[in-house]
Structure 1
Amino acid sequence: MTILMPYVASAQFSVKGRITDIHSQQPLPGASVLIGNLSNSANSSGEFSIGNLKPGSYPVRIRYIGYREVNQTVKVSGNETLNIQLSPNNFVTDEVIVKATRAGENAATTYRNISREELAKNNLGQDLPYLLNQTPSVVVSSDAGTGIGYTGIRIRGSDATRINVTLNGIPLNDAESQGAFFVNLPDFASSVDNIQIQRGVGTSTNGAAAFGGSLNVQTTTRRDSAYAELNNTFGSYDTWKNTINVGTGLINNKFTFDARLSRIKSDGYIDRASSDLKSFFVTGAFYGKKDLVRVNVFSGKEKTYQSWYGIPESILDTNRTYNHYTYEDQTDNYQQDHYQLHYTHTFSDKLSVNTAFHYTYGRGYYEEFKDADSLKNYSITPPVLNGSAVEKANIIRRRWLDNDFYGLTYSLNYKPENSLDFTLGGAYNEYRGDHFGEVVWADVPYTDISSNQESIRKKYYEDNAVKTDFNTYARATYQVGKVNVFADMQYRRIGYSFLGYDRNLRNVQQKDNLNFFNPKFGFTWLINNTSNFYASFAMAHKEPNRDDYTESTPGSRPKAEKLNDIETGYRMRGSNYQAGINAFGMFYKDQLILTGKINDVGAFTRQNVPDSYRIGLELDGSWQILPALSWSATASLSRNKIRRFVEYVAVVDDDWNTVGEESFEYKNSNIAFSPSFIGSSEISFKPLQAVELALLSKYVSRQNLDNTSNRNTGIDAPSNRDRVLEAFFVNDLCLRYNIRAGKIKNVGIALQVNNLFGELYENNGFTYRSIAQGGPLYTENSYFPQATRNFFLSLNVKF
């Protein structure tokens, strides 16, 4: 209170005004206004207001898509009025690249925009999901426990395979597994200009269906001035991050070139869970009066020691850093190269077209040691030693993935008047993946690797898969009075050819073709200049993933999933606050989940459950309490249920061979990994212009590891423990100091203390259940514990 009293007692004023087009005098709703470190957006009348300003001079920055940025200074000695007229750009801007897949300012979609500045504040080496941890309904996890290496993200309880991720409108999700692996793009956040997170189905986009949300990422955009930036971070567990960013600025008023080079290394919190990550990003652009051409080339290479197995519950309390693997080269190795060519042409101020061609080349393997494995599994003829065949041996194997992903995206935007906006877009993408395995060593007499004899480096399995994905959509928004109405219709066709089992259990090449129609419609009521109400309905369909296909026959193959999503919300903003509350209902038909059932080829694959749902409320707001004190917070309250769920548990003999299964039925059980409450808070205090102290807090309620709601069956062993992730509350402390030093634009020092109070918690895990013949049901749980108190110290120098 003593520290804050001078700020409470000092005079505080506001700056308000209106932003319009210099020629037509029409308002520019949604224009971004930044005064000092306070921001706001113009309302539907182009008006804005920012309060809690002490007397003094403040830099002002006004930005709006398609218009020249305005930078000036305002002197505040009382309440000020600042009317700004913006001039249209005489060149095409980068925002058009992602406009077709984005929700607009007053869209009837639940979304959150994150700027480059917001990402940069906490970008000290952790993966991109961890930089999104303070957004609504998000839960992140890390195999190594530090947020570096293999990380995961869930939105509204849906994992990365159900989150659509696009980079400049181009799909990132793997075509077969449908996951998005940010470990393949280390330090990608350093080349990101902005991100829009849409929760629920969202707008029509390219790539995987959004069953939990979408991450729409835009990379580096135009920067008019030349620059260079050095970022270096050192942290706990021998963590290092080194980044170089450079750019030419605008050359001859037409060309820009930008580049980044990054390296991240960490030993990880879990024993031997090390990461060695490298990446680069290069982009060049041509800006004409009616044309924009941008070429992006970026790549990531990762080598991580495997920590996928987790820690068995039996030793969790005594050895939280235990790693099941001991073989020194038990590593995952992968490289992914991306090439993007974007071209935009503006026919007039009413009509423009955007196209993009892309190619991604991925290749890599994971190496592992298998103890006493059957040689027949690798097509190795068992040698005869002292008259007896050697059936088993220690094996070192590599499992490879070599794939190509290429295609094109397009969008045509027509806006004949301010009240009507029409977009026609779509994409065609093709994926070709080669899956194969090889033995690199085996301890049997005639397969000494030095002699290069039978089966060494020979492929013991090979599977070539091809997947095509075509979609087209038409979206229109029309304003009638104070109501914006929209309709969005998407058609998607998928073709998949793969190696799978036929009805006679032979592995043969198979095909499947799926056709989906995904309509969306809704409205936004512009109540006044500071608030609006919206409601929408959206439908989405999602195809099964690779394992669902390859580990089943046509007779046991699961069906595609269907989601009906209802979103409704209220948004408001003032001179020193903005807030939103929304309710959602996500109703699934034939959702795919693990039930434990063994199918007709002896595999544990996902099964369809007829009826399940997620319903909830979400809050998202920020408040500039004082010029030096701000608070932002989110809260999500949800109910996530499967109306009827049948669990299947394998019955095993003394050698762990499956000899049968038993089933148990549950009604209204909780969906796994779906906490009923998620909350976050960030309190930021700036006692001086150059100093910022922030406390980031995250609370996640109890989660189930499976879909049984932790209900016992009646034959559970007495020692069985809960199949849950306990609730956790974690706090991070950030101290940032920025100064200008001579000709150096900025010197920034940041200290981030993660898990400030040393919370012992786990944010991911898995469970396995089995029944011994004639005995009780046993449960084995494994967990992924996260690092206790740790730190990152960063030095950032900008020229």
Structure 2
Amino acid sequence: MIKKMVNFLFKRVLVVCGLLWFGSGIFAQFTISGRVTDKKGNSLPGATVAVKDSYQGTVTNSSGYYQISNLKKGDYVFVVSYLGYESVQKSIEVSESISCDFTLESSSIFTDEVIVSSTRAGSRTPVAVTNISQGDLVKENTGMDIPYQLSLTPSLVESSEAGNGIGYSALRIRGTDASRINVTINGIPLNDSESQGVFWVNMPDFSSSVDNIQIQRGVGTSTNGAAAFGATINFQTEKVNREAYAEVQSVVGSFHTYRNTLKAGTGIIDGKYSFDARISKLKSDGYVDRAFSDHESFFVSGTYFLNGGMIKANLINGDQETGISWWGNPGYDIAGKVTDRTYNPAGEYLNKNREVKYYPNQTDNYKQTHYQLFYSQVLSPYINVNTALHYTQGHGYFEQFQDDDNVYHDTDYSYYGLDNPIVDGVEVEKTDLTRQKWLENDFYGFTSSVNYKRDKVEATLGGAWNRYKGDHFGNILWAQSGGVDNGYQWYFNDSEKTDYNIYGKVNYYLTDKLNVYGDMQYRHIDYEMDGIDDDRLDLIQKHHFNFFNPKFGVFYKLNSRQDVYTSFSVAQREPTRTNFKDAKADPASYPVAETLYDYELGYNYSSAKVKAGINMYYMYYRDQLVPTGEKNSVGYDIMTNVDESYRAGIELVWGVRLLKNLKWDANFTLSQNKIKDFVEYATYYDADWNKEFKGKSLGSTDISYSPGEVGSSIVSWDAFKGFDVSFVSKYVGSQYFDNSSSNNLKLDAYHVHNVRVHYSLDPVLFKEMSFYVQVNNVFNEKYENNAYGGKWYEQGEELIWKYYYPQAGTNFLCGVNLKF
């Protein structure tokens, strides 16, 4: 009964939000206005003026003036901040409309924000954007992976192979997977150059070293790396701490989960130096059988302050061992019985007594280290430059047991280029074996930008050059029937990829209320592969791409509470290594580059008690690569180009302060995601079992993994000082996991609720001590948030195969945090 009531309330949030939104201004009465300048009296355009503990705030215009209206009588705390200046916090009693100027002093320490300023959207950039502060990250960093920490942001759907949000997890934004989402750390590309994906499992506990995150939905602004086809996620790592500190975090939870984190920093030494470090250990058995995680990571950062600048170095390391679970759960065993939700077929085999056993080392292992070196300098009050060198080194493998009882040919000697051995006078064609598939890669390059900000003009000129080298190879460790040397390498191929880009952005204030935005990017890619693949077919390819990606937009501030914006953007991107590899036997079927035309229109409103926004988007694609519903031998989605497709939707975001100590933040997305004139290709068997692969036109169909409704909600209650309770909800509508819109290949909608309790106090021995308990899936919903599958036809009958990723029922995480 309680669950039904919660679901009922959640699905009707728009009505309540609308009533609160339009009723919020009834009692608003007063205005505060003024000017923000530096000590010399120079105006600071774009400075932020915010009302503390409120949704209300604004930015100064090109002359440094601001205005905040609709304030009720009372005491307020105003916080004023500007890049490169010390923030000011001032208490003001408002009983009438008043004027108040703020003067900011130049920061004695060069701020880290300048590192990411060239790749981020500003407060008056006409894009759909979500900013996540360190405070918000701390609340969400309960031990689960980054996709789950970002779960409450608009249009995002997270998934987990292990079923508990730890290990191999993933996210989609507007139905777009991470291989089409541009992800950067301090402006440096994180996406793997070949797969273009982001493997969060290689970044364990990374968010403990992150200060803030910006998510831009749609194409967004130009940045480094591949173009954004659904969103951009930009991480800024830990900023300089002025005072020395130490922090210990410990988390325990269901499925033998624990995470221990130690952080420490020197503060600023002699006004010149600062050092910060973190080390983490994370383990979990996972909800799914043998989907364990055993991860270690560390982060080290050092900063040397110059006169008006700084040199900063970061070292980010992740080392993971994870039980393979990417095949999912078939739902039914061979006898047709429903399997346990935790069933994992990876590593399954029959021993000589025909008993089911599991290979104990069916694991994925990878180690990745990022080296980053930044130089930033202010050249004048209006110009600063940023340059970064980066190098990422990665190596790892996954190990598998291959049972010769399987129906595939990857236990045949011939598959590995080997002659059949003679055992006891009999020629043997198949054998049980263990094997490893390896990847060793290097990624390096530089990024650079010049930023100009004065009066009516904000401009950036930037670019990057990056080079990737990767070796892919496989070794047989052991074969039961012999005939192969241990460590035999049956394939090797290497690849090189070079890309560079240059971009320019201008935000020009035509008036104090109206600004226009222009953004141009040119990107060039050279990609070469050589050698043989794991099926011993030649993998010799060369591909070259040149892309021009323009973006335009307009932002208009209606008044101190409301603004509107619109934009049009073009993005083009190259296919991934897997896309090319899967088509290697037929060069005529090589995938082609995708093109996206993105139209956005948005409106934002803010007052003391309500903050709300609506964003409408239409994303039209030519040659979009969409999942077929199948996976290749290493768990990647097999993709295909479709001629025309689109995503169209409405994103609603709001926050309401219901009471002084009770607030509600939520978002909801309604969308349509369609392929025009889709042709389904499948295998057909006639009455004589003759096999034919042919296509069938299905007309307009839904794009796979693109639910039409996605929403999240968090109700937060500050019961008393240091103690707060949050009720968190996530709703995801039904979604297909192939492109045929077949109801047999569809994930049901799900609605999951979590409860989080946090308590902090100021003990004598520590600066702060805090505790939290998070109960996930409190109503024990049985659901799956990801799946894959396909179909074939026998004598005209449609037959289905599919695998699901079941998620854990009610489970918990609890933690303690000590600050010294």
SS in structure 2 at match of 1:129: helix
2:644 alignment counterpart? 611
For the 8 Å contact 1:499–1:550, the answer to whether it is kept is: no
SS in structure 2 at match of 1:741: coil
2:675 alignment counterpart? 642
2:342 alignment counterpart? 321
Instruction: Tell whether 2:482 aligns with 1:439.
Output: no
2:708 to 650, 660, 676: 676
Instruction: Tell whether 2:799 aligns with 1:778.
Output: yes
For the 8 Å contact 1:17–1:84, the answer to whether it is kept is: no
For the 8 Å contact 2:458–2:506, the answer to whether it is kept is: yes
Deviation for aligned residue 1:392: 0.5
For the 8 Å contact 1:666–1:708, the answer to whether it is kept is: yes
Deviation for aligned residue 1:13: 12
Matches within 5 A, 1:382-781: 382-415=420-453, 417-445=454-482, 454-481=484-511, 482-499=513-530, 507=538, 509-552=540-583, 553-595=586-628, 606-651=639-684, 659-710=691-742, 722-772=744-794, 774=795, 776-781=797-802
Deviation for aligned residue 1:181: 0.6
Deviation for aligned residue 1:76: 6.8
SS in structure 2 at match of 1:347: strand
Structure-1-length-normalised TM-score:
0.90
Instruction: Tell whether 2:87 aligns with 1:87.
Output: no
Deviation for aligned residue 1:744: 1.7
Deviation for aligned residue 1:542: 1.2
* Structure 2 Cα separation of the partners of residues 654 and 24 of structure 1: 87
Deviation for aligned residue 1:689: 1.9
Instruction: Tell whether 2:395 aligns with 1:363.
Output: yes
Deviation for aligned residue 1:621: 1.6
1:795 alignment counterpart? 816
Pick closer, same or farther for the CA change 1:225–1:456 going to 2, 3 Å.
same
Residue type of the alignment partner of 1:258: D
| 1:414-471 residue CA offsets vs partner (Å, 9 max, x unmatched) | 23x220112111100000000000011110145xxxxxxx431121100000001111
Residue type of the alignment partner of 2:547: F
1:210 alignment counterpart? 228
* Structure 2 Cα separation of the partners of residues 90 and 567 of structure 1: 40
SS in structure 1 at match of 2:119: coil
Deviation for aligned residue 1:226: 1.0
Pick closer, same or farther for the CA change 1:30–1:290 going to 2, 3 Å.
closer
Any unmatched runs of 5+ in structure 1? 1-10, 447-453, 712-721
* Structure 2 Cα separation of the partners of residues 19 and 522 of structure 1: 27
For the 8 Å contact 2:494–2:531, the answer to whether it is kept is: no
Residue type of the alignment partner of 1:271: D
| 1:566-597 residue CA offsets vs partner (Å, 9 max, x unmatched) | 01101121122221111000000011124589
* Structure 1 Cα separation of the partners of residues 251 and 69 of structure 2: 38
Pick closer, same or farther for the CA change 1:539–1:150 going to 2, 3 Å.
same
Pick closer, same or farther for the CA change 1:294–1:19 going to 2, 3 Å.
farther
Residue type of the alignment partner of 2:242: D
Matches within 5 A, 1:285-364: 285-314=303-332, 318-325=339-346, 326-364=358-396
Deviation for aligned residue 1:19: 6.2
Residue type of the alignment partner of 2:793: I
Matches within 5 A, 1:151-230: 151-230=169-248
Matches within 5 A, 1:233-248: 233-248=251-266
SS in structure 2 at match of 1:356: strand
SS in structure 2 at match of 1:96: helix
Q: What is the RMSD computed on CA atoms of the aligned residues? A: 2.8
2:37 alignment counterpart? 21
* Structure 1 Cα separation of the partners of residues 685 and 169 of structure 2: 33
Aligned length: 762
* Structure 1 Cα separation of the partners of residues 551 and 133 of structure 2: 27
Residue type of the alignment partner of 1:245: K
Pick closer, same or farther for the CA change 1:285–1:597 going to 2, 3 Å.
closer
* Structure 1 Cα separation of the partners of residues 420 and 814 of structure 2: 55
SS in structure 2 at match of 1:161: helix
For the 8 Å contact 1:700–1:728, the answer to whether it is kept is: yes
1:31 alignment counterpart? 48
1:715 alignment counterpart? none
Deviation for aligned residue 1:12: 12
Identity, % of aligned positions: 42
Per mean C-alpha deviation after superposition, the further-off stretch among 617-626 and 36-45 is 36-45
Residue type of the alignment partner of 1:781: K
Residue type of the alignment partner of 1:784: Y
| 1:713-737 residue CA offsets vs partner (Å, 9 max, x unmatched) | xxxxxxxxx2111000111101111
Residue type of the alignment partner of 2:127: T
Structure-2-length-normalised TM-score:
0.88
Deviation for aligned residue 1:337: 0.3
* Structure 2 Cα separation of the partners of residues 412 and 658 of structure 1: 64
1:5 alignment counterpart? none
For the 8 Å contact 1:421–1:476, the answer to whether it is kept is: yes
Deviation for aligned residue 1:346: 1.5
| 1:696-728 residue CA offsets vs partner (Å, 9 max, x unmatched) | 1111111001111116xxxxxxxxxx2111000
For the 8 Å contact 1:43–1:530, the answer to whether it is kept is: no
Per mean C-alpha deviation after superposition, the further-off stretch among 681-690 and 307-316 is 307-316
* Structure 2 Cα separation of the partners of residues 135 and 598 of structure 1: 28
For the 8 Å contact 1:615–1:640, the answer to whether it is kept is: yes
* Structure 2 Cα separation of the partners of residues 280 and 658 of structure 1: 57
SS in structure 2 at match of 1:249: strand
Deviation for aligned residue 1:284: 0.7
Residue type of the alignment partner of 2:650: L
* Structure 2 Cα separation of the partners of residues 743 and 506 of structure 1: 65
Per mean C-alpha deviation after superposition, the further-off stretch among 296-305 and 381-390 is 381-390
SS in structure 2 at match of 1:120: helix
